[in-house]
Amino acid sequence: MKQISIVIPAYNEEKFIGKTIESIQSIHYPRDHFEIIVVSDGSTDQTNEIIKKIQGVRLIELPENVGRVKCRQKGAETALYPNILFIDSHAVVDPEILTILNRLDAEVVSGYILGTEKITPFETFYLSIRKIIFFKFYRNYNIPFYLTPDNFDSMPKGTTALYVTKERLFDAYAELSQANIDKYTSDDIKLLRAIVKQVPILVHPAVKITYYARTSFRASIKHLFERGPKFVDYYLDPSKRYFWLVIIFPLFVIFSTIAAMLLLPLLLPIKILTLVCMDVILTLLLARSLREFFTIFYMLPLCAAVFYAGVIMGIFVKLLRTKNIIASQS
């Protein structure tokens, strides 16, 4: 039977961390075959105090916020067992998750997010986008598959629930150590990319979790904006599929629309009507029900504005970083 160290990175998660740990402590698996490690990434709220009151959890307190990659790595370095299961601090795990992982003959396994505990407007919009971008995945939603270098950029991926042997994990960390990791880095994607170079990642629907969506509008907006630079960090490359699909083409449409609205000698009501019609057409492409239509209709302009503001910032960050690297080498 596999021995597994469950590592949870946490930064200011006082609202969710208790529920996450409670679900892990309810796992149907011999208690002496798994441990729970929470790495507090410089938390400044009550996260640490909450964890200290829970028995059977090892807390590692980092003095400052270092980001998820280094946070997870610290937890893995202190883990007692040869297998690591990373769990997001916003997740509730299935009671059979370790039993399933024990049965699977795979060195790396990524789990399925069944959905969110509460369906927010943001989650409704995100899901509609994912179903368009990852249509191959949703066409065969309940079928396990392997993530490989060939399909890496066309399939959904993440580290919300990621099982990996220490050997594969530390080989990936050795590769990432050569990269410039900061708050704008697409850390999750680069970690998975480094792993998949070594061995395929099994994505299995039986390894399942439920995700706690952000309940604060402000937190959701902040998270969406921060995803822009991270998306650019990995996908700002003409050889990658989403460079054209998600970066270049949408930015072209956005700037062309802004230019047309400013320069064309049209009455303001006509300009507004044109924008509304564009929103309706895009919403019709994304929505699968009347409820979704009304949600996506008002979320689409908001999310597009916030995300692509982050993308534009990410492009400038990427260019500045490249310029600094060239300058340091000359």
Q: Comparing C-alpha atoms, which of 220, 90, 61 is closest to residue 161?
A: 90
Percent of the chain whose predicted confidence (pLDDT) is above 70? 95
Strands (E), the chain: 4-10, 34-41, 57-62, 83-87, 91-93, 108-116, 145-147, 161-165, 201-211
Contact by Cβ (8 Å): 108, 165: yes
Tokens representing residue 257 in the block: 């629309």
| pLDDT tens by residue, 258-292 | 999 988 888 889 999 999 999 999 999 999 999 99
Residues of the chain with pLDDT > 90, as a percent, come to 60
* pTM of the predicted structure, to 2 decimals: 0.89
pLDDT digit string, tens, across residues 204-232: 999 988 887 777 888 889 989 999 999 99
pLDDT in tens, 316-328: 988 887 777 676 6
The pLDDT value recorded for residue 117 is: 61
How many CB atoms sit inside 10 A of residue 12's CB? 17
* Closest by CA position to 4, among listed 70, 67, 74, 85: 85
Query: For 153-178, what is each residue's pLDDT tens digit?
Result: 888 888 889 999 999 999 999 888 76
CATH number of the 4-215 domain? 3.90.550.10
**Residue 50 is which amino acid?**
I
Q: What is the pLDDT of residue 103?
A: 95
The domain ranges of the chain are 4-215, 218-329
pLDDT for the residue 2 = 96
Q: Which residues of 183-193 are buried (b: 16+ CB within 10 A; e: fewer)?
A: ebbbbbbbbbb
Q: Which pLDDT tens digit goes with each residue over 69-86? A: 788 999 999 999 999 999
User: Residue 95: is its pLDDT beyond 70?
Assistant: yes
